[in-house]
Amino acid sequence: MGDYAFPCFRLAKALKKSPQIIAEELKNKIQLDENIENMQIIGGYLNFFINKLVLAKVVLQEISDKKELYGSNKSGEGKTILVEYSSPNIAKPFHIGHLRNTVIGSALYKIYKFLGYNTIGINHLGDYGTQFGKMIEGYKRWGNEYTFDENPIDDCMDIYVRINNLCKEDENVLELCRENFKKIEENDPYCVEIWNKLKNMSLKEFQKIYDLLGVKFDSLKGEAFYSDKMDEVVDILDKKGVLKDSEGAKIVDLDDKGMGICMIKKSNGSTIYATRDLAAILYRARTYDFDKCLYVVAYEQNLHFRQIFEVAKYLDIPEKCLNGLEHVAYGMVRLSTGRMSTREGTVVKVDELLQEAIDRVEKIIEEKNPDMENRKEAAKKIGIGAVIFNNLCNTIIKDQVFDWDTALNFNGETGPYIQYIYVRTKSVLEKVENIPELKDVNFEYLQDKASIKVLFSLYDFENILMQVVQKNEPSILARYLINLSQNYSNFYNENKIIDENKEIQDARVALTKAVEIVLKKGANLLGMEMPDRM
Ligand code: ARG
């Protein structure tokens, strides 16, 4: 029941005294200072009531001093963290799973950076593997039937389906495909050229999505980058005596750890996904000497990551790096049925989805506020913001249903709601001539329940960010922003801000200014941009 409480139950056992008595003794030993107004014992809890005048003064002063740096700290200083996210496969569609991945990873990236970590964002592109042998074979045969212009990835998928069908009919074609992949590995100019072409085409398409989302990476080293770095992995594992032969293939047996077997080299000698990941761990440990390396990847790959983290223990890398490997698993995104799905009915194209979000918002603006300036720009921020927030508002491991009406609801627990409250703070601030200097503000006018709730929320911001990185859970920040918005909305409804009493007005305006700063910063950290009007 206090602003803060200290439960004494655990101590009771150790000290062999009742919680009540312990609370009593503690209370007698703690000296009240100006920060704490009162202490109270209730049922084994020692409750603290903090001085709300000090709270108002300290919080608003700090926000006013630090501005958009409020909430940041240096807790990550000297630590290097790699955040691997997005990682789509080239010549394949960028699907809504990759979208969720990109949004989660980018938010974590921004928040770690804000807390002082040396943060490196990596897009581990799926640009290698036997399927490219097939793509090349298909391209050789039918490439000239396609323009690769308007929808290059559709064209690629078309070719991929055709060549797969042909492979099923004709063993010889499959053999040709295998040879093509080998040729890529051997640097055959023709095969490498087609492969690069596919890669550039895909990257251009992916970039459109990244631009819409405002997402950036520091490194685009994908699977192919590790193709010549796998032999070393195989060598090390061999020397350590952990490689076993299994029907011609090389494996590491993790059965006794309940993780099955990890394939390292196929019987035909070609390496696989897991081997490239192991090479990447080795490379990243050497290059970055990282403290943490986060893999934002769907939970379907749980076993894969448990396996490679286990095998990585044999790779002579520092203990620190080994302990820092972490799979940040997230749930699937499903679509509520209806108008969401595209022609094929199954694959939803992310660029189309983002565009639809923007178009829908623009329509709403046209209906509700036809005279608004910069409509297009606002529609983009709101539409994209809605999609981003929708991907982050629940615990990331939970499966998420995407539904337009929920995501775009201006009154629900949504991105647009947060933006709407932010815009409200802006319009309040525009109505006053100037923002008061804090030294002139009388904090007595911020002692009502609604104001204090807002103050507590503001005070929590840094703590919330620390929790996000502790759990790698950006939804904690998303929920926080909803909370802060609701608290401000409540304050706004209960208090007249533009008031004939200038002292009252100044205090409320000062609080509004602080909310404006924190809402914007928090939303930006999630990847959302804030509109000036709505
Ligand atoms: N490209 C993969 C996919 O789309 C994800 C890669 C995840 N990262 C990794 N290091 N294995 O499923």
Distance CA 232, CA 215 (A): 33
Helices then strands, counting H and E runs in the chain, come out as 19, 12
What's the CA-to-centroid distance between 494 and ligand 1, angstroms?
Answer: 50
Phi, psi (deg, nearest 5) at residue 243: -80, 135
Ligand 1, pocket-test mutation among 131, 202, 301, most atoms within 8 A of CB: 301
pLDDT-derived band at 44, boundaries 50, 70, 90? very high
Ligand 1 atom nearest the C-alpha of 280 is: 10
Per-residue model confidence as pLDDT tens digits over 366-384:
999 899 988 999 999 999 9
pLDDT-derived band at 434, boundaries 50, 70, 90? confident
Tell me the one-letter amino acid at 350: V
Q: Give, using CA atoms, the residue closest to atom 1 of ligand 1.
A: 126
State yes or no: pLDDT of 251 exceeds 50. yes
What's the pLDDT score for residue 339?
42
What's the CA-to-centroid distance between 461 and ligand 1, angstroms?
Answer: 33
Ligand 1 atom nearest the C-alpha of 297 is: 7
Ligand 1 atom nearest the C-alpha of 277 is: 10
Measure Cα distances from 127 to 77, 199, 502 in Å.
34, 7, 63
Contacts 24+ apart (CB under 8 A), 488-495: 488/421, 488/424, 488/425, 488/454, 488/512, 488/515, 488/519, 489/421, 489/424, 490/450, 490/453, 491/450, 491/451, 491/453, 491/454, 492/424, 492/428, 494/448, 494/450, 495/448, 495/450, 495/451
What's the CA-to-centroid distance between 272 and ligand 1, angstroms?
Answer: 12
What's the pLDDT score for residue 249?
92
What's the pLDDT score for residue 340?
41
Question: Which of 130-134, 187-191, 287-291, 504-508 has the lowest average pLDDT?
Answer: 130-134
Where is 508: in which H helix or E strand?
Answer: helix 502-526
Q: Count other Cβ atoms within 10 Å, centred on residue 31.
A: 5
Phi, psi (deg, nearest 5) at residue 240: -75, -10
Write out the two tokens for 499. 């008031």
What's the CA-to-centroid distance between 89 and ligand 1, angstroms?
Answer: 8
Whether 98 is catalytic: yes
The mean per-residue pLDDT over the stretch 396-400 comes to: 92
What's the CA-to-centroid distance between 7 and ligand 1, angstroms?
Answer: 45
The mean per-residue pLDDT over the stretch 461-471 comes to: 98
Q: Give, using CA atoms, the residue closest to atom 12 of ligand 1.
A: 88
What's the pLDDT score for residue 344?
44
Domains, the chain, with CATH or none: 4-69 (3.30.1360.70), 80-227+272-335 (3.40.50.620), 350-526 (1.10.730.10)
**DSSP-based three-state secondary structure for 468:** helix
What's the CA-to-centroid distance between 124 and ligand 1, angstroms?
Answer: 7
Ligand 1 atom nearest the C-alpha of 98 is: 4
What's the pLDDT score for residue 433?
84
Of 185, 175, 159, nearest to 91 by C-alpha is 159
Per-residue model confidence as pLDDT tens digits over 109-163:
999 999 999 999 999 999 998 888 999 999 999 999 999 888 888 899 899 999 9
Per-residue model confidence as pLDDT tens digits over 472-529:
999 999 999 999 999 999 999 999 999 999 999 999 999 999 999 999 999 999 999 9
Q: Which residues line ligand 1 (CB under 6 A)?
A: 84, 87-89, 124, 126, 277, 295, 297
Tell me the one-letter amino acid at 394: N
Q: Which of 52, 95, 381, 426 is catalytic?
A: 95
190 burial type by CB count under 10 A (0-12 exposed, 13-18 middle, 19+ buried): exposed
pTM for the model stands at: 0.94
What angle, 0 to 180 degrees and rounded to 10, lies between the N-to-C axes of helices 449-471 and 52-66?
A: 60
Ligand 1 atom nearest the C-alpha of 126 is: 1
CB 85 within 8 A of CB 47: no
Ligand 1, pocket-test mutation among 83, 273, 297, most atoms within 8 A of CB: 297
The mean per-residue pLDDT over the stretch 399-419 comes to: 89
Where is 11: in which H helix or E strand?
Answer: helix 9-15
The mean per-residue pLDDT over the stretch 403-416 comes to: 88
Distance CA 346, CA 93 (A): 12
What's the pLDDT score for residue 151?
85
Ligand 1, pocket-test mutation among 100, 124, 127, 262, most atoms within 8 A of CB: 124
Q: Give, using CA atoms, the residue closest to atom 4 of ligand 1.
A: 88
Cβ contacts of 480 within 8 Å, gap of 6 or more: 457, 460, 461, 464, 522
Q: Give, using CA atoms, the residue closest to atom 10 of ligand 1.
A: 277
Q: Give, using CA atoms, the residue closest to atom 3 of ligand 1.
A: 88
What's the pLDDT score for residue 345?
47
Distance CA 171, CA 141 (A): 16
The mean per-residue pLDDT over the stretch 68-82 comes to: 97
Q: How many Å separate Cα 115 from the centre of its chain?
A: 15
The percentage of the chain sitting over the pLDDT mark of 90, rounded to a whole number, equals 83
What's the CA-to-centroid distance between 221 and ligand 1, angstroms?
Answer: 12
Ligand 1 atom nearest the C-alpha of 298 is: 12
What's the pLDDT score for residue 347?
66
Beta bridge partners of 122: 84, 219
What's the pLDDT score for residue 341?
39
The mean per-residue pLDDT over the stretch 53-61 comes to: 97
Of 155, 161, 79, nearest to 113 by C-alpha is 79
Ligand 1, pocket-test mutation among 87, 131, 283, most atoms within 8 A of CB: 87
Ligand 1 atom nearest the C-alpha of 305 is: 11
What angle, 0 to 180 degrees and rounded to 10, lies between the N-to-C axes of helices 375-392 and 350-368?
A: 120
What's the pLDDT score for residue 338?
46
319 burial type by CB count under 10 A (0-12 exposed, 13-18 middle, 19+ buried): exposed
> Can you give the three-state secondary structure of 149-195, one letter per residue?
CCCHHHHHHHHHHHHHHHHHHCHHHHHHHHHHHHHHHCCCHHHHHHH
Distance CA 90, CA 498 (A): 56
Nearest 5°: the CA angle 411, 417, 421 is: 115
Q: Which of 17, 79, 92, 453 is catalytic?
A: 92
Distance CA 501, CA 508 (A): 11
Q: Give, using CA atoms, the residue closest to atom 5 of ligand 1.
A: 87
Tell me the one-letter amino acid at 372: M
What's the CA-to-centroid distance between 472 and ligand 1, angstroms?
Answer: 18
What's the pLDDT score for residue 337?
61
Mean pLDDT of the chain: 93
With tokens 């200072």, the residue in question is 33
pLDDT-derived band at 346, boundaries 50, 70, 90? low
What's the CA-to-centroid distance between 164 and ligand 1, angstroms?
Answer: 22
What's the pLDDT score for residue 411?
84
Whether 327 is catalytic: no
Q: Count other Cβ atoms within 10 Å, centred on residue 482.
A: 18
What's the CA-to-centroid distance between 153 and ligand 1, angstroms?
Answer: 18
What's the pLDDT score for residue 386?
96
HSE-up (13 A, CA, CB side) for residue 403: 8
Beta bridge partners of 89: 126
Q: Which of 52, 98, 113, 520 is catalytic?
A: 98
Whether 92 is catalytic: yes
**Positive or negative CA dihedral for 405, 406, 408, 409?**
positive
The mean per-residue pLDDT over the stretch 430-443 comes to: 94
